[in-house]
């Protein structure tokens, strides 16, 4: 039961991703063919695979992680606090190595939480770890485990309460639960442009950290607990 969960044993995370190359033309010929096959179901009339290549970052086989933010709950002076740390850099292997090192320092029973994490963030991270020739940390290795043995939480799934007719965005849940969120500088659709055209990882980091904080606040509300005060949210270097 959610109320029995020890929040201090939960990592809340979010990732930001982009295509591996700036443009479709930069892909090796074989991968151009593979992307064209992958993209054929999303093409609108008159569009080509090159036209929709900016969406390739949504697929782990064609994309890469450029920012991964994680937040932890902690108790201090009787108050619940939340601390956020981000891993961000163009070298994805180094990013994932640093994140995996952090996970391996934690107990294998650590709970990972994300919004739409079970369908996107967790499998994406696993695939990119394997593609980069790294070993899966125990918290991400779900092979052979029964569903109730997997310590993954998904705030989208929790909010559905068994209703799987549609997805609900993080921003919508936050709005209906009265969770204040600062006006975003960018949206998920802007990440490609901000990364490849502006080379501004700092803007992407801030956006990613906002999603982690909002996910943590939603988890608090789902447990019928007060929101974490903004003064009790801190950021690690």
In-domain check, residue 106: yes
So what's the pLDDT on residue 127?
98
In-domain check, residue 43: no
Q: Is the pLDDT of residue 100 over 80?
A: yes
Query: 15 burial class (0-12, 13-18, 19+ CB within 10 angstroms)?
Result: buried
Q: What is the mean pLDDT of residues 195-206?
A: 93
Q: Tell me the three-class secondary structure of 139-172, residue by residue.
A: CCCCCCCCHHHCCEEEHHHHHHCCCCCCCCCHHH
Q: What is the mean pLDDT of residues 23-36?
A: 95
So what's the pLDDT on residue 182?
67
- Domain housing 122: 2-20+62-235
Q: Is the pLDDT of residue 185 over 90?
A: no
Which CATH number goes with the domain that contains 118? 3.30.420.10
User: Count of domains in the chain?
Assistant: 1
Q: What is the pLDDT of residues 117-165, one digit of tens each?
A: 999 999 999 999 999 999 999 999 999 999 888 999 999 999 999 888 8
CB 39, CB 27: distance < 8 Å = no
Q: What is the mean pLDDT of residues 205-225?
A: 96
Q: Which of 51, 70, 65 is nearest to 18 (CA)?
A: 65
In-domain check, residue 200: yes
In-domain check, residue 134: yes
pTM of the prediction?
A: 0.94
């Amino acid at each position: 039961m959610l109320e029995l969960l020890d929040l201090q044993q939960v990592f809340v995370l979010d990732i930001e991703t982009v295509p591996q190359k700036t443009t479709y033309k930069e892909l090796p010929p074989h991968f151009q063919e593979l992307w064209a096959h992958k993209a054929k179901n999303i093409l609108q009339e008159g569009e080509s695979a090159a036209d929709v290549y900016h969406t390739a970052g949504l697929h782990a086989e064609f994309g890469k992680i450029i920012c991964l933010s994680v937040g932890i709950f902690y108790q201090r002076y009787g108050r619940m606090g939340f601390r956020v740390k981000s891993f961000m850099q163009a070298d994805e292997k180094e990013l994932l190595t640093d994140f995996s090192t952090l996970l391996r320092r934690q107990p294998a029973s650590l709970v990972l939480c994300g919004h739409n994490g079970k369908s996107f963030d967790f499998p994406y991270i696993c695939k990119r770890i394997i593609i980069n020739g790294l070993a899966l940390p125990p918290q991400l290795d779900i092979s052979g485990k029964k569903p109730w043995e997997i310590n993954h939480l998904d705030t989208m799934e929790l909010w559905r309460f068994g209703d799987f007719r549609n997805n609900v965005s993080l921003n919508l849940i936050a709005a209906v639960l009265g969770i204040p969120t600062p006006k975003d500088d960018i949206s998920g659709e802007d990440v490609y442009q901000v990364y490849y055209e502006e080379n501004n990882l700092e803007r992407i980091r801030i956006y990613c950290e906002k999603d982690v904080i909002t996910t943590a606040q939603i988890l608090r509300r789902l447990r019928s607990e007060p929101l974490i005060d903004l003064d009790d949210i801190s950021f690690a270097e």
